[in-house]
Structures are given as C-alpha cells and as structure tokens.
Amino acid sequence: MALKTELMAGGIPAAPASRIGFDLLANITATGAGQSTAAPLVSNFSNISAGTGGVIIAQTHAEHLILNNSGSTITIYPPIGSFMNNGSVNAGVTLTTTSRMLIKEAGQQFVTFTSA
C-alpha cells in the first residue's frame, strides 16, 4: 500500500488519502496492563520496538499494520467501545514477537490478519 504522501502527490485529496494510505513507520514502546494504560498508536504503520504491555488504536484509518519486534508478546486493543474479531467489547488480541498484524476497520469492529 502506498504512503499517504504518495497518494496526495498523485492527486488524491488529503481526506481520502488519510483513510487509505499508510503513515511513515512509527516506533512505539508497548506499555500498560490494560486498555486504559496501553500506549496509543500514533500511526497506522507501527513497529513495536520495545515494551511488554499493549497498544491501543487511537486513530481512525481503514487499515493498520503493526510489526512486533519488542521481544515480547503484546496486546493490541481496539478504541474504547469497539471490538476485535467478534470478541468482547474493549478486549484486546495478542501479537507474538516477530509477528505482523494487518487490521481492517469496519465501523466499531476491527478484523485482524496475523502472520505466523
């Protein structure tokens, strides 16, 4: 998928480019022990480079790509009031170390596709 800046350079307006394009890769440290204390993801293209807690999707995008290079299993939480993969509202899903997760947003549901 293209970066947002590449889409805008090709003539797509900023609002739709922000929904379908990726940000630059952001390095994040996982923190906290639950949804309320998890580190917010500031990009829809994130590398979890350290930490042992969780991260929470804090922005609205059509999709998110998360790379876990932290050395630990982390938990990915949906925004408050949302759910992952038909799970319970506000419950997270785990992402093992060196795995990747693509998340597709559909309203308040977030569907995940995880690498082995």
Give the pLDDT score at 52.
82
DSSP strand pairing (63-68 vs 39-41): unpaired
Which pair of structure tokens corresponds to residue 11? Answer: 């003539």
pLDDT by 10s per residue, the chain, length 116? 789 999 999 999 998 888 888 999 999 999 988 888 999 888 899 999 998 888 887 777 788 999 999 999 999 999 999 999 999 999 999 999 999 999 998 888 999 999 97
Domains in the chain with CATH codes? 4-114 (2.60.120)
CA atoms within 13 A on the CB side of 40: 6
Instruction: Enter the pTM of the model.
Output: 0.87
Using the 8-state DSSP alphabet, how is residue 31 labeled? B
Residue burial 67-95, b: 16+ Cβ < 10 Å; e: rest: bbebeeebbbbbbeebbbeeeeebebbeb
Give the pLDDT score at 42.
82
Give start and end residues of each alpha helix (H) in 38-79: none
CA distance 7 to 30: 30
